[in-house]
A and B are shown apart, each in its own frame.
Chain A
């Protein structure tokens, strides 16, 4: 099994909610993938937390580790090749990584639930949508088929699927992409979780449908005072819904803070470059700023700051010395040697 180290950096305690503990807290999480070609350090000390009713956006490109973090939290990391080599995942104070498997099963879905990006492959094609929702009530709640069916119809109605009575008997392929994603949301909410992790919930959808789904998620979150962790690469969606943001790069959180100040005044060159490299609908085209190079190979993460080969500000120090997480006040933090300069110049 996994070897759990205690302690580590306590980056998340800085923004600890005054009124109580966060709904979910990840601290100093380390995960590596042991493959035939070598060991890839996929997570290298990830820490974040999310409070009840809050939306935390985890922003990053492919390979940054945002989905692996979520999989570790859910306890669905494929192992092998993935191994947790350190850190904690605390749900209401309880470390899930040292919990028994039966306890983990109890938490999954019941306390912490997840929505996946690709609803077509996340749903089982040979069972009806209704059956897949009812399963949870029958197994977890010991309900009869009839009662479970009633609850499933209610849930489909809750996520605004028209004609839930007839839809409940249909198979996933009979649903459109947007409706499947609604069904996934219904399924994840069935057992009233406290924390919902949404992994790229709208990436496969068209913009008009994306707007519907994000609205629905926000509405349900408010009603239930649920904590939402939104994993995405879309800076537009984040600006629309997030309270706080954690930006990931090469298995680390490089910057975190509340959405307004982070967009206004990024304190990490990577965040700044990302914001400048996206085409915007409300700004007419001129040459886009690009980030040169590629994200690093996780088997050979550059020494010093992992972003240094692509960074326009990099100096000698960045090539040798890993920047600490600088606390910048008001819940902002950045893992850049020049964080305080960047934030003051903004």
Chain B
């Protein structure tokens, strides 16, 4: 296999928590992302799933360098992303784009669709000379399934699904190699969600894109992703191919998460074994010692509190961060 297009090693992002009015002092750290490593291959979709507060959106922001990481490295096409400055950094931004979750707040209401989708060309005029911009924007709108005639409309004249298409067109404008999709379909209605998911799939084939697909909906992730990383409290609990994670999960958290997803088939009612997790996710300011999942885990033993389980190849042949990783038959019924 070729070199991965993006290689992230031990990425950490802590947010300081300050207190006091005049003399603010740091009272703690929110450990949003705490040592995350993965690689993304060319043309593949890596899903990142987890519950709210697990750090998946912070990960997206750090990868886009919208937030500077606390430590760690990310190598994109052979270059260290976090040390790039000036011209090289600008070039990086061309190759990596983001699609945001909320199509209502991520588009400027005072700009026309043509201006929104064409704005990347203002910053990177080398991609499209002034005269050809309108043509380019029309093409982009066409690619994402919007009518090129809508160039002069404003975002409020579009539905949620159409706005998300505008956001996708904007992300595509510079012909990036990698697109980070941060919950791109979770704000959409069921019947619209499928349209946007299919569009993302088609665009990937057409332009050879690699996606980091961040979502909380496990069904959506299974549908779109080649490989999947499951995050819990700032760390990756388990990572593997779609098949390994969904058919042979070994981390108790993954198993619980999968079993809790309701399946749209009433005949499975009562036949599905749902692993009930008790309690809530602990605060990322003060995560549990050792394994972070141990406070909600039914397998937890003394060692889990003392020793942080490494993310390494365990039962099932893929990376899992659990001392007692093992396959559990029939996590997803059906």
**Taking beta carbons and an 8 Å cutoff, which residues of A are in contact with B?**
61-62, 162, 176-179, 206-212, 215, 233-240, 242, 259-260, 263-264, 273-275, 277-285, 287-292, 294-295
Is B246 a contact of A281 with CB atoms below 8 Å? Answer: yes
Q: What are the residues of chain B within 8 A of A290 when measuring CB–CB?
A: 191, 194-195, 198
Is A281 a contact of B265 with CB atoms below 8 Å? Answer: no
Q: What are the residues of chain B within 8 A of A285 when measuring CB–CB?
A: 222-224
Q: What are the residues of chain A within 8 A of B130 when measuring CB–CB?
A: none
Q: What are the residues of chain A within 8 A of B263 when measuring CB–CB?
A: 236, 239-240, 280-282
A203–B162 CA distance with the chains assembled, in angstroms: 22
Q: What are the residues of chain B within 8 A of A240 when measuring CB–CB?
A: 262-263, 266, 269
Is B222 a contact of A61 with CB atoms below 8 Å? Answer: no
Is B189 a contact of A236 with CB atoms below 8 Å? Answer: no
| With known contacts A234-B262, A239-B264, A295–B189 Cβ distance under 8 A | yes
Q: How far is the CB of A230 from chain B (nearest CB, A)?
A: 12
CB-CB nearest 3 A-B residue pairs: A236-B262, A282-B334, A285-B223
A295–B159 CA distance with the chains assembled, in angstroms: 10
Q: Name A239's contact: one of B223, B269, B332 (CB within 8 Å).
A: B269
Q: What are the residues of chain B within 8 A of A242 when measuring CB–CB?
A: 266
Is B194 a contact of A281 with CB atoms below 8 Å? Answer: no
Is B197 a contact of A207 with CB atoms below 8 Å? Answer: no
A290–B201 CA distance with the chains assembled, in angstroms: 13
A273–B159 CA distance with the chains assembled, in angstroms: 20
Q: What are the residues of chain A within 8 A of B258 when measuring CB–CB?
A: 281
A292–B145 CA distance with the chains assembled, in angstroms: 11
Q: Is B219 an interface residue (CB 8 A)?
A: yes
Which residues of B in the span 176-217 have a Cβ within 8 Å of any Cβ on A? 189-195, 197-198, 201, 216-217
Is A208 a contact of B260 with CB atoms below 8 Å? Answer: yes
Is B52 a contact of A289 with CB atoms below 8 Å? Answer: no
A294–B195 CA distance with the chains assembled, in angstroms: 11
| With known contacts A263-B266, A279-B222, A273–B280 Cβ distance under 8 A | no
Is A209 a contact of B265 with CB atoms below 8 Å? Answer: no
| With known contacts A279-B197, A282-B332, A285-B222, A61–B266 Cβ distance under 8 A | no
Q: What are the residues of chain B within 8 A of A288 when measuring CB–CB?
A: 194, 197-198, 223
- Beyond the given A239-B268, A288-B197, could you list 7 further A-B residue pairs with CB under 8 A, ordered by the A residue number? A210-B260, A235-B190, A278-B190, A282-B263, A285-B223, A287-B198, A294-B192
A287–B269 CA distance with the chains assembled, in angstroms: 26
Contact flags B264-280 to A (C-beta < 8 A → 1, else 0): 11111100001011111
Is A207 a contact of B218 with CB atoms below 8 Å? Answer: yes
Q: How far is the CB of A38 from chain B (nearest CB, A)?
A: 16
Is A206 a contact of B266 with CB atoms below 8 Å? Answer: no
Is A279 a contact of B220 with CB atoms below 8 Å? Answer: yes
Q: What are the residues of chain B within 8 A of A275 when measuring CB–CB?
A: 264
A38–B332 CA distance with the chains assembled, in angstroms: 49
Q: What are the residues of chain B within 8 A of A279 when measuring CB–CB?
A: 194, 197, 217, 219-220, 222-223
Is B52 a contact of A274 with CB atoms below 8 Å? Answer: no
A314–B256 CA distance with the chains assembled, in angstroms: 43
A277–B193 CA distance with the chains assembled, in angstroms: 8
Closest to B283 in A: A176
Task: Give the bracket for the number of chain B residues in contact with chain A.
Answer: 35 or more
**Taking beta carbons and an 8 Å cutoff, which residues of B are in contact with A?**
51-52, 159, 161-162, 189-195, 197-198, 201, 216-220, 222-224, 242, 246, 256-258, 260-269, 274, 276-281, 332-334
Is A208 a contact of B51 with CB atoms below 8 Å? Answer: yes
Q: How far is the CB of B241 from chain A (nearest CB, A)?
A: 12
Q: What are the residues of chain A within 8 A of B264 when measuring CB–CB?
A: 235-236, 238-239, 263, 275, 278, 280
A209–B223 CA distance with the chains assembled, in angstroms: 23
Is A176 a contact of B280 with CB atoms below 8 Å? Answer: yes
Q: Name A215's contact: one of B189, B197, B276 (CB within 8 Å).
A: B276
A192–B260 CA distance with the chains assembled, in angstroms: 29
Is A281 a contact of B191 with CB atoms below 8 Å? Answer: no
Most buried by A among B161, B190, B258, B276: B190
Most buried by A among B191, B193, B261, B332: B191
Q: What are the residues of chain B within 8 A of A234 when measuring CB–CB?
A: 262
Q: How far is the CB of A124 from chain B (nearest CB, A)?
A: 22
Q: What are the residues of chain B within 8 A of A294 when measuring CB–CB?
A: 159, 161-162, 192
Is B191 a contact of A291 with CB atoms below 8 Å? Answer: yes
Q: What are the residues of chain A within 8 A of B191 when measuring CB–CB?
A: 61, 273-274, 277, 290-291, 295
A234–B257 CA distance with the chains assembled, in angstroms: 17
Closest to A214 in B: B262
Is A282 a contact of B333 with CB atoms below 8 Å? Answer: yes
A281–B259 CA distance with the chains assembled, in angstroms: 10
Q: What are the residues of chain B within 8 A of A289 when measuring CB–CB?
A: 194
Is A178 a contact of B280 with CB atoms below 8 Å? Answer: yes
A264–B267 CA distance with the chains assembled, in angstroms: 9
Closest to B258 in A: A281
A-B pairs with beta carbons under 8 Å apart, 8 shown: A239-B266, A240-B266, A277-B190, A277-B193, A281-B332, A282-B265, A287-B198, A288-B223
Is B265 a contact of A274 with CB atoms below 8 Å? Answer: no
Is A207 a contact of B219 with CB atoms below 8 Å? Answer: no
A207–B261 CA distance with the chains assembled, in angstroms: 6
A215–B332 CA distance with the chains assembled, in angstroms: 19
Q: What are the residues of chain B within 8 A of A176 when measuring CB–CB?
A: 280-281
Is B190 a contact of A274 with CB atoms below 8 Å? Answer: yes
A297–B38 CA distance with the chains assembled, in angstroms: 45
Is A280 a contact of B219 with CB atoms below 8 Å? Answer: yes
Q: What are the residues of chain B within 8 A of A295 when measuring CB–CB?
A: 189, 191
| With known contacts A239-B265, A281-B219, A281-B263, A208–B194 Cβ distance under 8 A | no
Is B277 a contact of A287 with CB atoms below 8 Å? Answer: no
Q: How far is the CB of B45 from chain A (nearest CB, A)?
A: 10
A282–B222 CA distance with the chains assembled, in angstroms: 9
A290–B269 CA distance with the chains assembled, in angstroms: 26
Q: What are the residues of chain B within 8 A of A235 when measuring CB–CB?
A: 190, 264
Q: What are the residues of chain A within 8 A of B51 when measuring CB–CB?
A: 206-209
Closest to A242 in B: B266
Q: How far is the CB of A287 from chain B (nearest CB, A)?
A: 6
